Structure 1
Amino acid sequence: MRWFARTTRNDIWDEPIESPLGDIDAAERIRAICHAASAAASRSDKRESERYERAAKVAMEIAMKISDDLMRDDAVHRIVGLCMTANDTKTAQILYRAIHASWIRETIQRDHPTLSS
């Protein structure tokens, strides 16, 4: 009776990373995680909230390993957008402060003016 068996959905952020990621691969994975988790971030369901938190945590861990400053700032910018979708302004504010590129900070200020204060 496998027809009725529940299958658990495997999210991209739950998939193991088998080898060290280069900067480009890491940025691409963060982009995919943020895109996939945006639906979970916008819901107030407890299960979806836990999915968002796992996704954000994995994305932040990957972003910390990116050696190129500009690429890391862009990845963090995407994570800030995910946090703002989830109304997690505390985490978004912390990540916003970690961005060094002035033009990325200006873009975030334009998109999310509440973070600049």
Structure 2
Amino acid sequence: MRWFARRTRGNIWDEAIDAPLGDIEAAARIRAICDAAAASAADSAQPGQRERYERAARVAMEIAMKIADDLMRDDAVRRIVDLCMKADDAKTAQILFRAIQAGWVREAVQRDYPALAQ
């Protein structure tokens, strides 16, 4: 009886995107990806968790590059920087930090992660 069999739920970053996303939908998807991958990022010392975090971050970065609105893109990149810092991936976080253009977003990231400003 397969009717009641549980389906394994996939990761949100592995789900196919059917149509082009608008800026608001893209930002919401990045937020959902970062929230879902936070546990993997915190446990990134384990091999399987590190792979999940890297896949999630890669997909989130690809979506963020397609956001046209500068402030929405900067906010999305900030969320990805938070994810990277949870995983102790300072190299990627620093590269993303340099991509943030809005001054107030950069200042907020600098307050949270002073090491990135160097």
Q: Do both proteins adopt the same fold according to a TM-score greater than 0.5, normalized to the shorter chain?
A: yes
Which category describes the TM-score, using the shorter chain as reference length? over 0.9
Give ranges in structure 2 of 5+ residues lacking alignment.
none
Which AA in structure 2 matches 1:90? K
Which residue of 1 is the match for residue 112 of structure 2?
Answer: 111
User: For 1:36-75, what aligned pairs fall within 5 Å after superposition?
Assistant: 36-43=36-43, 44-75=45-76
Give ranges in structure 1 of 5+ residues lacking alignment.
none
Which residue of 2 is the match for residue 23 of structure 1?
Answer: 23
Which residue of 2 is the match for residue 90 of structure 1?
Answer: 91
**TM-score, normalised relative to structure 1:** 0.93
Aligned equivalents of 2:47 and 2:78: distance in 1? 25
Deviation at 1:19, TM superposition (A): 0.5
Deviation at 1:6, TM superposition (A): 9.5
Which AA in structure 2 matches 1:67? A
**TM-score, normalised relative to structure 2:** 0.92
SS, match of residue 103 in structure 1: helix
- Give the direction of change, closer, same or farther, for the CA distance of 1:47–1:6 in structure 2 (3 Å limit): farther
Aligned equivalents of 2:6 and 2:42: distance in 1? 24
Which AA in structure 1 matches 2:12? I
Aligned equivalents of 1:89 and 1:9: distance in 2? 30
Q: What count of residue pairs does the alignment treat as equivalent?
A: 115
Identity of aligned residues (%): 69
Deviation at 1:8, TM superposition (A): 4.7
Which AA in structure 2 matches 1:36? A
